[in-house]
Amino acid sequence: MKPKNLIRLLETGNLEEKIKAIKELSGTLDRTELAALSRYAYFSEILSLRQAAEEALRESSVNYIPSLSSYFYVIPWDARNIFEREDFEALYFQVVKRTKAFSEISEQSIKEILRENPRTIVIFRAIAGYTLNEISFVLNLKYDVKFSKEHLQNIERQGSKASRGIIRRWNQILDHIANLFHKSVDPTFLEVPPGIDEAKFRLLTNKFDTRSGWSGVTRVAREGVPYQDLLYQRYIGGTFRQARDISSSFKANILEGPIEHLLRTKGIPYYKTELREKVEGWDQAPDFFIPNKEAPKAIIEAKVAEDGGTARDKAARIKVLASMAQPRGIALISVVDGKGFTRINDVLLPIIAYSYGLIFSHSNKEEILNVPVIAQFIGTSKR
């Protein structure tokens, strides 16, 4: 039977005919047919219809997986918060020169270096293995000193060009910061709490360069790092891990950037929301409103996920957006990519259903232009 007739049966046929039509549409990737199936999956009050539609969409989900790509090898890089290698190296050699390759290291020398060039904090915290948030916490815990992660971030990125207030406070607490960094390679500085099985945990000082305190740092600085130690540290610490964590919000741009480029080049009016922006009338704001946020006809939500758990959370977000958009007659378009979305039952299948089949990925994003609610706006933008 022709697809149009099958869709007509879904609308007008009896229960037996509807189930038969659903089974014949099983595995389809045609978005009109997906939309027809989606209206029964999760939503039908008749259990047999709902189950048949869910199974049909499950097959469609399997067939959609080849459209997905993975981006695990694309590292987000927030240049505002990450030093380039050359800048990091320049700061490192400043410290090396002042301490004679760490052989003449003391609280006083650390203090003087940090006063002369506050940005060298990045070298000392790299040796300690602390994040800025952890430094702020330890300052409060050990020294009863309050200096926020944001202030530390300003010091690290702007150095002496940070605001007067921050620099003034920085100079006031330098004794404590120098003491913290000097002790940070001492295994007794922060101990495993009593009662915890030490065989199941390791201290942060248990790194190949700091296991023996500053003498180990001196040895590594002078002799270099055995490649097996470098590889092991990378193995337990992850490759580009801090860059990934600091720049995680940039990951979304893998899809949002190309979508925005597509809309702009095709003259489609849109409003792109900012990170954590609140939009009146929306408990959750989508990534794009078409043609505007005041009277949208469609919304676009773009999500990248490389693991199933994250993808499941993003699928839940799409479900919430569907509950806000569709009762108002606003089309929800989901653009998803990454190997996390290969998870079927609680990720890809519900996304297809709650988007009424309007699901796209980087590989087929141009097909968004074929969606009638989007096509009507092509060439109408005044940008």
Residue 131, SS3 per DSSP: coil
Q: 380 lies in a domain? A: no
Same domain, 188 and 277: no
The verdict on 282 and 220 lying in the same domain is no
* 253 and 349 co-located in one domain: yes
Is residue 20 within 8 Å of residue 8, measured between CB atoms? no
Same domain, yes or no, for 212 and 282? no
Residues of the chain with pLDDT under 50: none
Position 244 scores a pLDDT of 72
Range of the domain at 265: 249-375
Of 243, 269, 303, the one marking the end of a domain is 243
User: Are 151 and 44 within one domain?
Assistant: no
222 Cβ contact list (under 8 Å, min separation 6): 101, 103
Q: Is residue 112 part of a domain?
A: yes
Evaluate whether residue 80 is within a structural domain: no
Residue 37 in tokens: 């199936």
Question: pTM for the full model?
Answer: 0.82
How many C-beta neighbours within 10 Å does residue 178 have? Answer: 21
Chain position carrying tokens 């549409």 = 25
Q: Has residue 382 been placed in a domain?
A: no
Residues 124 and 218 placed together within one structural domain of the fold = yes
The total of structural domains in the chain comes to 3
Q: Shortest CA distance to 115 belongs to which of 178, 157, 165, 158?
A: 178
Structure-block tokens of residue 165: 């207030």
Judge whether 148 lies within some domain. Answer: yes
Are 93 and 233 found together in one domain?
Answer: yes
Same domain, yes or no: 104 and 232: yes
- Residue 76 forms part of a structural domain: no
User: Is residue 110 assigned to a domain?
Assistant: yes
pLDDT at position 198 is 79
- Predicted pLDDT of residue 7: 80
**Domain presence at residue 381:** no
Q: Of the candidates 243, 274, 294, which is a domain's last residue? A: 243
Q: Are residues 275 and 162 in the same domain?
A: no
Are 103 and 157 part of one and the same domain?
yes
- DSSP assignment, residue 297? S
The pLDDT of residue 383 is: 67
Query: Are 219 and 108 contained in the same domain?
Result: yes
pLDDT (0 to 100) of residue 196: 84
Residues 32 and 92 reside in one and the same domain: no
Mean pLDDT of the chain: 92
